[in-house]
């Protein structure tokens, strides 16, 4: 081992970000590096990131986590996508599923062929009927995809809906079993090296001193180290994403355990509903310039479909990101790095990526600036790509029933996002800047779901025989219906995995 190798990592802050950082570091470095996590009993966690993208499965798999044990211990349910209600216009409903709209045809997405058929056949069924994840969600069915043969019945993925607090405890147990030391205490002072400016140690309020070589800031919105010490700066995106407040409340289980998250647009924002094994997670994300906190609380409670189990908890935030997430020997992960509202369940995914990049560009004690620059570039790019995808949901609105939605329709957006919208409106094509993020079928789900129909369709697709295309779509549709019809119900599968029936609170 080099004499400049990192000997001790100090993670400041627990919760989801802290323990998602500690677990893979312990797996990778536990035998050769001391890892300490400091968390304060005085500081609560946000705990709203209970809905995930499918990438969480790969994160868990890389840790060697048993899937069945994970579902049991975190009260998890399965997630096929997000059900959007009242987005675009009142009464509208569409689904963003973790699947395509049928297999590609001559290397073009199936939805492009649907557009051609729908143009010439007014009675053409909805494009969603060729999305197996959407078909499963509408019938509350779920089974993991199986087999390795491509086709419409296994071309889908899934994430989870789980209790973020239980997940943090689960990873805490995992990390501590692999050598991570947990210190309970509150940071009172941060020592810096007088010449380099590197963080040398943390002074806890009770007098204990914790030194280290690399410090990971998982202190949430405060950014205790990245902002409190290094004044990293913050890029404010409120002009494009004006929501700055949220209220969260648990409620009793509904009669149906849905394998999806619901996002319902409200007069000044939107409301989430996330079904777990033991309760529903609910929250109202809104802009307090357009709605008072009292009114927002009433909207939240009135929008519940089951009895509230507590009083709403207030949260404040500013959408944006740190200008730098890695400064000297300090790396910010999670909310200390930036915040994007949980509309597309991307918060935990960004943590997964940041921890992966930290391991990929892991430094020695000199913390080479070029490594930090590359990490900062990747993190900044990730936040910007996700930001634009979320902005898309707001910008496409046709709602004029409130000042908030009128603002969203008129607000300026990045030129790159405007190009994506204009290209689809005019020619039915989708350009993707982010090859590792949301792909064409995800953009199609949002664009088509908001009622956008292109002025023209692909002229090469127009050359194809319509009868053959209709026959192909009919066969795919019949196959999806047959397979989904034979699947078990979501609640039944969860009960089978956990060994316990799903009971209402």
Residues assigned a catalytic role: 79
3-state SS, residue 262: strand
Neighbours of 228 (CB within 10 A): 15
User: What is the H or E stretch that residue 330 is in?
Assistant: strand 330-332
Token pair listed for 364: 């020695």
Pairing status of strand 320-322 against strand 338-339: antiparallel
Residue 346 exposed, middle or buried by CB count within 10 Å (0-12, 13-18, 19+): buried
Q: How far apart are CA 441 and CA 448, in angstroms?
A: 10
3-state SS, residue 14: coil
User: What is the H or E stretch that residue 15 is in?
Assistant: helix 15-29
Q: How far apart are CA 211 and CA 193, in angstroms?
A: 11
Residue 281's Cα: distance from chain center in Å? Answer: 15
Return the closest-CA partner of residue 10 out of 208, 234, 233, 222.
Answer: 208
Distances (CA, A) of 321 to 339, 382, 387, 492: 6, 10, 10, 41
Listed as own residue / partner, the contacts of 126-129 with beta carbons closer than 8 Å and 24 or more positions apart are: 127/101, 127/444, 127/448, 128/94, 128/95, 128/101, 129/477, 129/480
Token pair listed for 94: 């569409």
- Contact call for residues 73 and 83 (beta carbons, < 8 A): no
Q: How many CA atoms lie within 13 A of 225 on its CB side?
A: 33
């Amino acid at each position: 081992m080099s004499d400049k190798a990192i000997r001790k990592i100090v993670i400041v802050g627990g919760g989801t970000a802290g323990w998602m950082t500690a677990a893979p570091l312990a797996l990778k470095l536990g035998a050769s590096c001391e890892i300490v996590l400091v968390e304060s009993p005085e500081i609560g966690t946000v705990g709203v990131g209970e809905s995930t993208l499918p990438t969480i499965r790969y994160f868990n798999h890389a840790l060697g986590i048993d899937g069945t044990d994970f579902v049991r211990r975190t009260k998890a349910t399965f997630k096929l996508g997000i059900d959007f209600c009242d987005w675009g216009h009142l009464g509208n409903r569409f689904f963003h599923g973790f699947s395509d709209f049928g297999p590609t045809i001559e290397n073009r997405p199936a939805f492009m062929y649907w557009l051609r058929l729908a143009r010439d056949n007014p009675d053409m069924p909805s494009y969603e009927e060729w999305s197996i994840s959407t078909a499963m969600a509408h019938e509350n069915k779920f089974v993991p995809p199986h087999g390795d043969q491509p086709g419409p019945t296994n071309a889908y993925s899934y994430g989870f809906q789980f209790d973020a607090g239980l997940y943090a405890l689960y990873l805490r147990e995992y990390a501590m079993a692999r050598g991570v030391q947990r210190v309970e205490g509150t940071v009172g002072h941060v020592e810096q090296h007088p010449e380099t400016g590197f963080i040398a140690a943390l002074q806890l309020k009770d007098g204990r001193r914790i030194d280290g070589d690399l410090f990971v800031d998982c202190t949430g919105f405060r950014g205790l180290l990245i902002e409190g010490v290094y004044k990293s700066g913050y890029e404010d995106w409120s002009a494009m994403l004006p929501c700055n407040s949220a209220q969260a409340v648990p409620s009793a289980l509904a009669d149906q355990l849905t394998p999806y998250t619901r996002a319902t647009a409200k007069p000044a924002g939107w409301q989430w509903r996330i079904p777990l094994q033991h309760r529903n997670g609910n929250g109202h994300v809104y802009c307090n310039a357009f709605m008072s906190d009292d009114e927002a609380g009433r909207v939240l409670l009135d929008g519940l479909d089951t009895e509230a189990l507590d009083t709403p908890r207030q949260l404040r935030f500013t959408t944006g990101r740190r200008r730098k997430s890695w400064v000297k020997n300090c790396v910010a992960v999670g909310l200390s790095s930036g915040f994007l509202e949980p509309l597309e369940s991307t918060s935990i995914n960004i943590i997964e990526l940041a921890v992966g990049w930290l391991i990929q560009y892991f430094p020695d004690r000199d913390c080479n600036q070029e490594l930090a620059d590359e990490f900062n570039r990747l993190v900044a790019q990730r936040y910007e790509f996700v930001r634009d995808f979320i902005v898309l949901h707001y910008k496409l609105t046709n709602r004029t029933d409130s000042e908030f939605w009128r603002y969203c329709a008129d607000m300026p957006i990045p030129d790159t996002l405007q190009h994506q919208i204009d290209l689809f409106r005019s020619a039915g094509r989708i350009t993707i800047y982010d090859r590792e993020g949301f792909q064409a079928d995800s953009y199609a789900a949002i664009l088509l779901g908001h009622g956008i129909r292109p002025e023209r369709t692909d002229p090469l697709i127009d050359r194809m025989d319509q009868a053959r295309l209709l026959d192909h779509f009919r066969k795919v549709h019949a196959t999806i219906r047959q397979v989904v019809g034979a699947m078990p119900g979501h609640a039944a599968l969860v009960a089978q995995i956990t060994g316990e029936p799903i009971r209402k609170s």
